[in-house]
Structure 1
Amino acid sequence: MSVFSEEVKLELVNSKIDYPEIELFGFIKGKGSFVIEEDNHFLKLSISSMNTLKRVYKLSKELFEEWITTYIKIEKRLKLGRMGELYFNLMHAKIIFEERNIDIFSDGVPNYIAKDPYLFGIFLRGLFLSCGSVSITKNYHFEIFSDFTELFAQMIIKNLQNLIGIKANYITKNNKIKIYIKSSKDILNVLELIGAHKSVEKISTIIKVRELKSNVSRTFNFISANATKTAESASKQIENITIILNNIGLDNLPDDLKQIALYRLENESDSLSEMAENLNISKSTLYYKMKKLEKIANDLKRGELP
């Protein structure tokens, strides 16, 4: 997980708790599973961050009081370090959530949550804390990755679009589904939605700095390209004028062409626009006369006298 992603999650786990049942429902959708041990049925939450585990425990305490079992274990096989697991009596959890019009067995989100941006943001906060990440190192990338159904992923994507115009997509990977957002603007909006306000300020500053650097780079490249083009054009013009000078001399040119040839020899770095302005003629007229000088030089190179 990126450093920035960890910073976002730390901000969220320290944020104010509102509607603990909705945020915990987000955790259940992300990392919840149903466990049967003999005659006992449990709802299990697996959390890979100790800071996040403390958040989940606080949420659970507000809903279940002392009806929680917590385990801390070392996951060596997957090299995840310390992991936390919370167990709730399944029927007790079902009753608690049903009292708040939430069906933990459903593949969707209750309408009163889905249609309210604030409540939906709280739900997404739990979902993101359980199985999400965000990266701004090279490209901008926000994702939520777990064993969702496609129906659930489509519902989340549709709701993000309908509520606040966020464009998200999903892919299936290793029998799991990844919901992702690529646009920096949309990532800012979804972070604002889940309550990561300080992180939004930070990423906004990074985006502005990157855009400024990009604009400076484009401007420099444009100026550099134009300078190169001007230098190459001037070099070719001077070459033509030198051929004329060495073969027939500039005095044998018409006065208007002679004036232009002398000016170019004395002002090698001027662009055509600068030359036209200083010679008090239009750029198109200057271009036409330069072409006449080029033709004379080409005729001389072929041994044809003008």
Structure 2
Amino acid sequence: MELIMSKIEYPEVELYGFIKGKGSFVIEENNRYLKISISSMNTLKRLYKISKEIFGEWITTYIKNEKRLHIGRMGELIFNLMHAKMIFEEKGIDLFSDKVPEYISDDPYIFGIFLKGLFLSCGSVSITKNYHLEFYSDFSEEFAQIIIENLQNLIGIKANYITKNNKIKIYVKSSKDILNTLELLGAHKSVEKISNTIKVRELKSNVSRTFNFISANATKTAESASKQIEDIEIIAEKMGLENLPDDLREIALYRLDNESESLSEMAESLNISKSTLYYKMKKISKIASKIKRGEIE
């Protein structure tokens, strides 16, 4: 709606975007028409306003219910093809070519207006689960490549395309690139709202990752401590802790009294390095393993 309500500038350029998105050429006997079909009534109002500004009364428009496709009401604008061809040629636009005129493709502002028409006719954006912006229509591969290269060269936006149901989908996946694309279209307020949504989502995601990391570390610490205590209890039962070397006995007794501490916390309390503590805990574990195998009684 922000794009629909935006100021109309370079009407021929925006209409050109509509034509590339949902335009088709119709031949009826000796008559040739340019037809644009739009499913959104709000978008149709903007399209009609733009068309009237360019063609005056030389347009036909009507609404129909499209039951076959289950899309409800559709609006269509019809222009005399030769008249439209003449009007656009005056602006350096060839309706029958896939190439975008240089004055449009080389100017970010004018290219954004062209993309606005393209987006309103066949585009969509979603940030519900994954980030996704697309233009989906009967494009040629040449046209898709031109749009993708222009987005990259003008703004640094990474886009790609796929073929689906004999149509082409030009898409943008990165949240940053989607925001830049919407900014290019002139949807400034929407960019601010979506940007805030993305920031909140990323914050929640970071908190969740941090919690999971802490939780995983706590689980790992608990499992490690449990194994160490089990080894020490085996040694205490089978040979007695008093028979351990002084340094190992000190560590064993400290671990029994401080079951929940991590190795880092133990090392700090015992005033030794973590690597030294780890090495000595390994020696205690080896003694317990030997007792289990009957090598020490």
Q: TM-score, normalised by structure 2?
A: 0.96
Counterpart position of 1:42: 33
Residues in 2 aligned to 1:214 and 1:257: alpha-carbon distance in whole angstroms: 43
Alignment of 1:153-302 (within 5 A): 153-302=144-293
Change (3 A) 1:34 1:259: same
> Partner letter of residue 259 of structure 2?
E
Equivalent runs, 1:58-77 vs 2, <5 Å: 58-77=49-68
The CA distance in 2 between the partners of 1:136 and 1:101, in whole Å, is: 37
Q: Which moved more, 1:77-86 or 1:207-216?
A: 207-216
Shift of 1:226: 1.2
Moved over 6 A (4+): none
Gaps of 5+ in 2: none
- Choose 142-151 or 92-101, whichever is displaced more: 92-101
1:116 alignment counterpart = 107
Q: Tell me the equivalent position of 1:131.
A: 122
Q: Percent identity?
A: 80
Count of paired positions: 297
26, 38, 54: which one pairs with 2:45?
54
Aligned CA RMSD, in angstroms, stands at 1.4
Q: TM-score by structure 1 length?
A: 0.93
Letter matched to residue 9 of structure 2: D
Deviation larger for 264-273 or 294-303: 294-303
**What's the offset of the Cα at 1:259?**
1.4
Deviation string 1:142-201 (CA, Å, 9 cap, x unpaired) is 111111111111111111111111111112222221111111111111111111112211
- Give 3-state SS (helix, strand or coil) of 1:73's partner: strand
The worse-fitting range, judged by mean Cα deviation, of 56-65 and 197-206 is 197-206
The one-character-per-residue Cα deviations of 1:261-306 (angstroms, maximum 9, x if unpaired) are: 1111110011111111111112222222222222222233333447
Q: Distance in 2 between matches of 1:89 and 1:303?
A: 98
Question: CA 1:94 to 1:305, structure 2 compared with 1: closer, same or farther past 3 Å?
Answer: closer
Q: 2: distance between equivalents of 1:263 and 1:15?
A: 72
Deviating more after overlay: 171-180 vs 128-137 = 171-180
* Distance (Å, rounded) in 1 between the aligned partners of 2:238 and 2:128: 62
Whole-Å separation in 1 of the counterparts to 2:68 and 2:139: 24
Q: Distance in 2 between matches of 1:144 and 1:45?
A: 16
How many angstroms does 1:74 deviate by? 0.8
| Correspondence for 1:148 | 139
Unpaired runs of 5+ residues, structure 1, are 1-9
Residues in 1 aligned to 2:229 and 2:167: alpha-carbon distance in whole angstroms: 67
How far 1:116 moved relative to its partner? Answer: 0.3
1:36 CA drift (Å): 2.4
Distance 1:236 1:154, change over 3 A: same
- Residue 3 of structure 1 aligns with which residue? none
Task: Give the letter aligned to residue 189 of structure 1.
Answer: N
**Alignment partner of 2:3: what SS?**
helix
Matched, 1:96 2:87: yes
**Are residues 1:78 and 2:69 paired?**
yes
TM superposition shift of 1:38: 3.0
Determine the C-alpha separation between the residues in 2 that align with 1:60 and 1:208.
Answer: 39
The aligned counterpart of 2:19 is 28
